[in-house]
Amino acid sequence: MKPKVGFFDFTSCEGCQLEVLNFEGELVELLKLVDIVNFREAMTEKSDNYDIAFIEGAITTEAGINRLKKIRERAAVLIAMGTCACLGGINCLKNFRTMEENLKIVYGDAAHYYNTIPARPVDAVVAVDYYLPGCPMDKDEFIALVKALLLNKKARLPNYPVCVECKLAGNVCVFEKGETCLGPVTRAGCKAICVTNGRHCWGCRGLVDDPNIDSEKEILQKHGLTTADILERFRHFNGYLEVSK
Amino acid sequence: MTEKVLSKQNLNIFINTLLSRGEEIVGVKKKEGKYAFGKIADAEEVCLDYDITLLPPSMYLLPQREALLKFNIAERPVAFPVIEANPFILFGVHPYDIKAIELLDTAFSTDNLDTNYLNRREAATIVGVDCLNPNPNAFCPSMDTAFTDKGYDLLLTDIGDSYVIAIGSEKGQELLKGCPDTQEATQVELKRKEEERQKALGKYKVALDTPLEKLPQLLDKSWNSPLWDERSESCLSCGSCVMVCPTCFCFDVQDDIELNLVEGERYRQKDACMLVDFAAVAGEGNFRKDKVSRYRHRMYRKGKYIMERFGRPGCVGCGRCASACLAEIASPAETFNLMKGESK
């Protein structure tokens, strides 16, 4: 029996789901292994009978909390997919203002029609079995996780910083180019895609298990960032974490 | 063997001749103000006056990731070894990197012969070039790696308008046969070579305070030094020092399976003792859980363990780690000198 899989979106750009649809080389093979029974962005049919739930997006409404809890009850395996689901992501930027302010900024005169709560990652609401961090999540990691689940193997994310992959890519260090980077404390797995393409690491995959934040902050300061700059940098994707407070 | 001399212009012709007859050449090219080894398409790309490359050339002998075997676990599981080794020329390797390759040769041919490494090594032709513009973090003279008289097939020394070429092997001699207009080096030219080398020695900015052979003893006395804690406090456990190291050869072995769930490969990829999970074992155990033990371990590898096991230091003094370390704690020379200062 092929496992039944559902994709569910919460507060997000839906780019991670779109990423799944972009797996053009692998989709046919993937569909031989699993049945997709719920995927709003890709199909009309909907079933509440699924084994594996992929959750995209941060949780930002009371209704979202209830919906997520129901999905958790139905799914044997629940996976947080993408930075918003894993970390809260950029949605957590709003947590640094009052919810009233946010509603007013976004909805203006119509603010009273809406409600919102501080943004939070999926695991702040329900237990998460696996994480696929990244903005967007990484295809190879997604496929490796699916294979591991099917083979009953343990799937693990890299627990080392982006620097490892960045060095292996042969990149000139961002700091050496006079810029700054969150690579030294950010979980690898992205193959240092941003630095390899000329930018710096924004920390979209969250922190490694035991990051040396003090050292990273000192290095950022030495390279010209103020305390406020550093906080802003961490808040971009990691606003829910202690490091951004 | 006698040494030859070749004009710079003719060296370019030589390189392009090799390329046109289909030789694969991996050489040093410019990269964003730095230098990196890469596949050469034209002699014009080749830099021979570089200070240091971002990554060491040993990565062409021990790739960052390589398949070891392919398997199929359908009905009757089968596995086949994968050994990929195509002839290529590693062009413009500095002596410290040549000595690092010699260490890998020893490591991969001691006890278990590492077929993958040794086949690739056999397929490689090494054309060295003397390092006359050392990187500011390098301390090669202290590690006896500023120059070498072996480990290469050919070795070039820039003497201004031409190169002196030392021949290190029959393979090198054979390669040079395709080279136009090489002359026997004259006494004057050999003297120039010696002068250039002496000049280069004067350019190193970092030196060990301890004689090389005394490093293991120094470290023996330093195990409980408070300096380990102080030095490693700012360590990011980012592994950069290891990723750029020409002598680090540790790897991790994993299996990967295709989406058909029957075919797959076993591969190895570079691993680093400075990473948190390097010494992690089943049951949540980790032999080097804290950064100070990882940091000290790396320094012991560089100055003691490798030396005691293979008779040569685990560091060639290239300074890549010191350049790559954002916390500025990675230089073995700096660390050993601090230990020496403390032990006085």
Q: Output the DSSP codes for A52-66.
A: EEEEESBB-SHHHHH
B37, B231, B237, B258, best to mutate vs chain A, most A CBs in 10 Å: B237
Q: What is the pLDDT along chain A (245 residues), one digit of tens a residue?
A: 899 999 999 999 999 999 999 998 999 999 999 999 999 999 999 999 999 999 999 999 999 999 999 999 999 999 999 999 999 999 999 999 999 999 999 999 999 999 999 999 999 999 999 999 999 999 999 999 999 999 998 888 999 999 999 999 999 999 999 999 999 999 999 999 999 999 999 999 999 999 999 999 999 999 999 999 999 999 999 999 998 88
Domain boundary among B132, B166, B201: B201
Q: Do A150 and B261 touch (CB under 8 A)?
A: yes
Domain-terminating residue out of B150, B177, B201 = B201
Homologous superfamily assigned to A4-150: NADH:ubiquinone oxidoreductase-like, 20kDa subunit (3.40.50.700)
Q: Number of folded domains in chain B?
A: 2
pLDDT number for residue A1? 84
Are B109 and B62 a contacting pair, CB within 8 Å? no
Q: Which residues in chain B are contacts of A161 at CB distance < 8 A?
A: 236-239
Give residues with Cβ within 8 angstroms of B116, minimum separation 6: B66, B68, B82, B83, B84, B85
**Could you give the CA distance from residue B52 to residue B44 in angstroms, rounded to a whole number?**
19
Whether A235 contacts A95, CB under 8 Å: no
- Boundaries of domain holding B122: 4-201
> How many residues can be counted in chain B?
344
Task: For A188, name the nearest residue in chain B, comparing CA atoms only.
Answer: B238
Q: B329 and B254, same structural domain? A: yes
B224 and B181 both lie in a single domain: no
Contact B243 A163 (CB under 8 A): yes
**Does B237 contact chain A (CB < 8 Å)?**
yes
Taking contacts as CB-CB distances below 8 angstroms, the residues of chain A near B243 are: 163-164, 167-168
User: Residue A238's pLDDT is what?
Assistant: 96
Alpha helices per DSSP H over chain B: 8-20, 95-109, 115-123, 140-143, 170-176, 187-201, 215-222, 227-232, 240-243, 291-300, 306-310, 320-324, 332-343
Both B225 and B178 in a single domain? no
User: Residues, chain A, total?
Assistant: 245
Residues B72 and B121 in one domain: yes
CA distance A177 to chain B (A): 9
Within a 13 Å sphere around the CA of B17, how many CA atoms are in the beta-carbon half? 12
**pLDDT value at position A94?**
96
d(CA B215, CA B238): 26
**Which of A163, A185, A210 lies nearest to residue B240, judging by beta carbons?**
A163
Q: In which residue ranges of chain A is CATH 3.40.50.700 found? A: 4-150
**B244 inside 8 A of chain A by CB:** yes
Three-class SS state of A217: helix
In A, minimum Cα distance to B324 occurs at A173
Q: A178: phi > 0 → left, psi -120 to 50 → alpha, else beta; which?
A: left
| Contact status of B238 with chain A (Cβ, < 8 Å) | yes
**CB < 8 Å to B270, chain A:** 168
**What angle do the packed helices B291-300 and B332-343 form, to 10 degrees?**
90
d(CA B197, CA B1): 19
B189 in the same domain as B122 = yes
In a domain, B206, yes or no: no
| Distance to chain B for A65, nearest Cα, Å | 33
Residue B55 falls within a domain, yes or no?
yes
- Tell whether B232 and B315 lie within a shared domain: yes
In a domain, B290, yes or no: yes
Residues B227 and B194 in one domain: no
Q: CB–CB of A168 and B32 under 8 A? A: no
Please name the residue of chain B whose CA is at the shortest distance from the CA of residue A155: B256
pLDDT, position B180: 77
Residue B207 lies in a domain: no
What is residue A144's predicted lDDT score, i.e. its pLDDT?
Answer: 95
Cβ atoms of residues B288 and B297 within 8 Å: yes
Residue B184 neighbours by CB under 8 Å, 6+ apart: B2, B3, B4, B5
How would you write the pLDDT of chain B (344 residues) with one tens digit per residue?
689 999 999 999 999 999 999 999 999 999 999 999 999 999 999 999 999 999 999 999 999 999 999 999 998 999 999 998 999 999 999 999 999 999 999 999 999 999 999 999 999 999 999 999 999 999 999 999 999 999 999 999 999 999 999 999 999 999 998 887 899 999 999 999 999 999 999 999 999 999 999 999 999 999 999 999 999 999 999 999 999 999 999 999 999 999 999 999 999 999 999 999 999 999 989 999 999 999 999 999 999 999 999 999 999 999 999 999 999 999 999 999 999 998 76
Say how many Å lie between the first and final Cα of chain A, rounded.
47
Q: Indicate whether B84 and B16 sit together in one domain.
A: yes
C-alpha to C-alpha distance for A224 and B319, rounded to whole angstroms: 25
Q: Are B170 and B272 part of one and the same domain?
A: no
- Interface check for B327 against chain A (CB to CB < 8 A): the answer is yes
Cβ pair B53, B135 in contact under 8 A: no
Query: How large is the greatest C-alpha to C-alpha distance in chain A, in angstroms?
Result: 57
Domain's final residue, options B166, B201, B236: B201
Q: Are residues B12 and B85 in the same domain?
A: yes
